[in-house]
Structure 1
Amino acid sequence: MTADLANEATDHTQGMERLLQAVQDLSLARSLADVQAIVRTSARELTGCDGASFVLRDNGYCYYADEDAIAPLWKGSRFPMDSCVSGWAMNHRESVVIPDIYNDERVPTDAYRPTFVKSMVMVPIRKLDPIGAIGNYWAFTRQPTDQEVFLLQALADSTSIAMENVALYSELEQRVRDRTLELEKANEEIHKLLITDELTGLNNRRGFYLRTEAALQAAHRQGSTCVLVFLDVDGLKTVNDEQGHDIGDGLLADVAAVLQSTLRQSDVLARVGGDEFCAFIIDPDCNTVRLRERICEGFDRFNDAHDRPYTLSASIGMVQVPVHTAETETVDELLARADELMYEEKKGKPDSRRPA
C-alpha cells in the first residue's frame, strides 16, 4: 500500500511538472497553430493515452482541428454539436469520462467503430461559454482516473487563456500592420505633395530635379540620347492682368493638359515656375525639330477645338544631350542652356501675346 501511494505521489508530481511545462509553452504561443501543436502533444503526455484531439466550436459544429494519435481519428472533420461527445462536453460545460464507448449513448459508435478508440475522456476548453474541447483516447477499455481528468481540464483551462492571448496578439499585429500601412500612405501622400505642382498635377521643380537626375543616369547606362525642353507660356501676364488670375490658372492647366497628351507618359514633365514648364525625354530617335512641331501642333489643335478667352502658345528652348555627356552634365546646366535658347526665341516674338 505504501508503494502504491508512493507511485501515485510520483505520478502526481510528474503530471504537475508536465502541466507546468505546457502552461509555460502556451504562454509563449503566438498563433492557433502553436497552441494546437502544444496541446496535442501535452494532452497525450499528461495521461499516457493513445491519442488526443483538439476540437474547436464552429457555428454549431465541432471541428476536429488537430490530433496526435497512434492511428488516424477525425482531423479535418466537422460534426454537429448534438451528435458527438465533444459537443456534449461543450453544451454541458463539463468533462465526459467514458470507460467503454460502446456502453454510452452519448457516443456516435458508427464514427468510432473504424478507429482504435475503446475508452475516452473529453473536457471543454473554458467551462464558461466553451470555445472547444480536448479529447483523450485509449485503445483498450479503462477508467480514466480523477487525476488524469484534473490534469486534462487544467490543460484545457490554460488553453483557453492562450487562445484569447493569440486572438489579442493577432489583433494587435493587425492594428500595427494597419497603422504601418496608414503611415506609408501618409508618407507617400506627403512625398507626392512635396514634388507635385498643385495647380497642374505635374511635377514641381523639386520633383523635376529628382526624376530628371535619375533619368540622366538611366540614359547614360542605356546609351540613349535625351532632350531637355524648356517652355515659357506666352501671354500669361496679360491674361492675369486683364482677365484675372483664375483665368490665368485655367491657361496653365490647359498647357499642362496639352503637354501631357502630346508627350509620352514615360517623359518627365513639370511646371518649374509661374509660367515655365520643362520636359525631359529619353529617346534615341528623338528629333528636336519634329518634337517642337508636335508641341506646337498640340497647342493649335487645342485652340481650334476649344473656345477659350486666350490662345495657347509658348516659347521653346531645346537641348539635346548626347549619350557621352549624359553622366557629366547636370540638370542645372541643361536648364540654363535650354533657358537661353528659349529666351532667344522669345526675343523674336512681339512683346506680349494678347488674349484672343
Structure 2
Amino acid sequence: MAQGTAESSVVLRRLLALARDFLQASDLGGILALAGRAIPDLLHSDGSLLVVHDGEREFVSEFGRHHRPMPTPEASALLHHARRAMADRTPILLPAIAPDSGMREDELTALGIASLIAYPFPPVRPVGALVSVWYRQGYRKELARLIPTLRLLGEITGAALGNVSFRKSLEDRIVTKASEIEEAARLHAVELLRRDSVEEEIHRISVTDMMTGLLNRRGFFLHAERSFKLARRLQVPSVLVFIDIDGLKAINDAYGHDVGDDLIVDMAHILQQCFRDADVIARIGGDEFAVFTIDTSQPDVLLARMQQSLAEYALRPDCPYRISFSTGIVQCDPGSEQSLSDYLLQADQLMYDQKRKRLSDS
C-alpha cells in the first residue's frame, strides 16, 4: 500500500513537472517531444508513440526506451492502433483485454511486443492518441492500472496542445492586426502627405499670380508683412516700391489683350532681374506691381537700378511696344507706427505724382 502511494506521488510530481514544461512549449513540435520523452518515464514502457491531428495534418512522434526519436513507417502497428483508438474514441489494451483489436497474439510476438496500450485524448472528440508498449510479459496484468495515468497524461497533453493552438491563434491575430495597423499607418501617412501636398498647392495657387508667376496681392501682404515686422524688430531700414506700367490700356486697345499680357509678363521679368530672391515681388493689380525689400539703398539708387534692368532687358525683335513704367518709392522707418498698408498708399501716391508730372512734361 505504502509502495503504491509512493509510486502515485512520484507519478503526480512527474505529471506536474511535465505540465510546467508544457507551459514553456511554443509549438506543436515541442509538445510532441516533451510528451514522447515523458511517457516511458511515467509508464516504465519500452517505447512510446504520440500522434496528433491539428485539423489538417497528422503529426507523429515515436521514442524508444532511451528517449531517442525514431522514424515511424506508415505501416507501423503502433500508429495503426493510435489511429484506431482515436476513431473508436476508446482505449485499446492488448493482448489480454481486447482480443478483437485486429492483431493476433502471434503477430504481437512477431513484433516483439508483449503488451500495448493506445489511449485517445480527449475522450469526447480525440485530437490525438498516446501509445505505449512493453516487451515484458509481466506488464500484461498491470495495463488497466495504468489507465488513470494515461488519462491524466492525455488531459494535460490535450490542454497543452490547446494552449499552443490558442497561443498560435493569438500570435497570428496579433501579427495580422499589427500588419493591419502598420498598413493603416502607412496609408494614413500617404494620405497626410497627399493632403499636405494638396494644401501646399492650394496655398501656392491662392498667393500666386498665374500670369506672371509672381505673388498676387494676397501673397504680397502675407510675405511682406513678415519681412516688415522683421525689419522693425531688427531696427533696420526697408523700402517699399510701387510700380505701374505706362500705357497698358493703349497697348490692349491697339494690339489686343494677348499683347498686353506679354507686356505684363515682360515687366515681371524685369523686376525679377532687378531685385533679389529674398525680396518680396508681387503683381497686385492689372498693371500694378509692388516690391518690399530690406535694403539701405536710397530711392534714387533703386530707381537707377530698375532703369538699368529695363535697358538690359532684351525684347523680342517683333515686339510692338516699348516698356515704360512709373514708380513710387518709400523708405519705411523701423521706429514708426505706420503699417505696411500705410506705406503702400504713400508709394502709390508718389507713383501717381510721378506719372502726372511725366504726362504734364510731355
Q: What TM-score do you get using the length of structure 1 for normalisation?
A: 0.59
C-alpha distance 352-186 of structure 1, shift in aligned 2 (>3 A): farther
Name the structure 1 match of 2:331: 320
On the 8 A contact 1:303/1:311 being kept in 2, the answer is no
Deviation (angstroms), 1:239: 0.9
C-alpha distance 7-275 of structure 1, shift in aligned 2 (>3 A): same
Question: Is the counterpart of residue 48 in structure 1 residue 24 in structure 2?
Answer: yes
For structure 1, which segment, 151-160 or 203-212, has the greater mean C-alpha deviation from structure 2 after superposition?
Answer: 151-160
On the 8 A contact 2:224/2:280 being kept in 1, the answer is yes
User: 1:102-251 alignment to 2 at 5 Å?
Assistant: 145=157, 147-251=159-263
Matched position secondary structure for 1:248: helix
Q: How big is each residue's C-alpha offset from its partner over 1:40-88, in whole Å with a ceiling of 9 and x where there is no partner?
A: xxxx8x6236xx69xxxxxxxxxxxxxxxxxxxxxxxxxxxxxxxxxxx
- d(CA) in 2 for partners of 1:256 and 1:230? 13
For structure 1, which segment, 219-228 or 147-156, has the greater mean C-alpha deviation from structure 2 after superposition?
Answer: 147-156
- d(CA) in 2 for partners of 1:174 and 1:291? 52
Matched position secondary structure for 2:358: coil
Name the structure 1 match of 2:84: none
- d(CA) in 2 for partners of 1:342 and 1:323? 22
- d(CA) in 2 for partners of 1:95 and 1:169? 34
- d(CA) in 2 for partners of 1:313 and 1:5? 107
Unmatched 5+ stretches in structure 2: 1-7, 28-55, 72-155
Deviation (angstroms), 1:152: 2.3
- d(CA) in 1 for partners of 2:234 and 2:317? 40
- d(CA) in 1 for partners of 2:259 and 2:201? 28
- d(CA) in 2 for partners of 1:8 and 1:202? 84
Question: Is the counterpart of residue 269 in structure 1 residue 281 in structure 2?
Answer: yes
Matched position secondary structure for 1:155: helix
User: 1:6-17 alignment to 2 at 5 Å?
Assistant: none
Matched position secondary structure for 1:298: helix
Name the structure 2 match of 1:339: 348
Deviation (angstroms), 1:148: 3.3
Matched position secondary structure for 1:255: helix
Which among 288, 291, 311 is matched to residue 300 of structure 1? 311
Structure number with larger C-alpha Rg: 2
Deviation (angstroms), 1:4: 6.4
Deviation (angstroms), 1:256: 0.6
- d(CA) in 2 for partners of 1:223 and 1:99? 91
On the 8 A contact 1:238/1:352 being kept in 2, the answer is no
Deviation (angstroms), 1:10: 12
- d(CA) in 1 for partners of 2:317 and 2:250? 20
- d(CA) in 2 for partners of 1:219 and 1:213? 10
On the 8 A contact 2:214/2:282 being kept in 1, the answer is yes
On the 8 A contact 1:300/1:312 being kept in 2, the answer is no
On the 8 A contact 1:200/1:256 being kept in 2, the answer is yes
Deviation (angstroms), 1:302: 1.2
C-alpha distance 228-10 of structure 1, shift in aligned 2 (>3 A): same
Q: Between Structure 1 and Structure 2, how many residues are aligned?
A: 243
Deviation (angstroms), 1:145: 4.6
Matched position secondary structure for 2:277: coil
Residue identity opposite 1:48 in structure 2: Q
On the 8 A contact 2:62/2:70 being kept in 1, the answer is no
Matched position secondary structure for 1:309: coil
Deviation (angstroms), 1:270: 0.5
- d(CA) in 2 for partners of 1:98 and 1:314? 101
Deviation (angstroms), 1:185: 1.5
On the 8 A contact 1:234/1:352 being kept in 2, the answer is no
- d(CA) in 1 for partners of 2:59 and 2:212? 72
Q: How big is each residue's C-alpha offset from its partner over 1:84-138, in whole Å with a ceiling of 9 and x where there is no partner?
A: xxxxxxxx977686989x95699xxxxxxxxxxxxxxxxxxxxxxxxxxxxxxxx
- d(CA) in 2 for partners of 1:94 and 1:308? 90
On the 8 A contact 1:296/1:313 being kept in 2, the answer is no
Q: What TM-score do you get using the length of structure 2 for normalisation?
A: 0.58
C-alpha distance 98-288 of structure 1, shift in aligned 2 (>3 A): farther
Q: How big is each residue's C-alpha offset from its partner over 1:302-321, in whole Å with a ceiling of 9 and x where there is no partner?
A: 14676522111210110001
Name the structure 2 match of 1:280: 292
Deviation (angstroms), 1:287: 2.4
Name the structure 1 match of 2:42: none
On the 8 A contact 2:63/2:70 being kept in 1, the answer is no
- d(CA) in 1 for partners of 2:269 and 2:62? 80
C-alpha distance 329-99 of structure 1, shift in aligned 2 (>3 A): farther
RMSD: 3.8
- d(CA) in 1 for partners of 2:186 and 2:361? 61
Deviation (angstroms), 1:219: 0.3
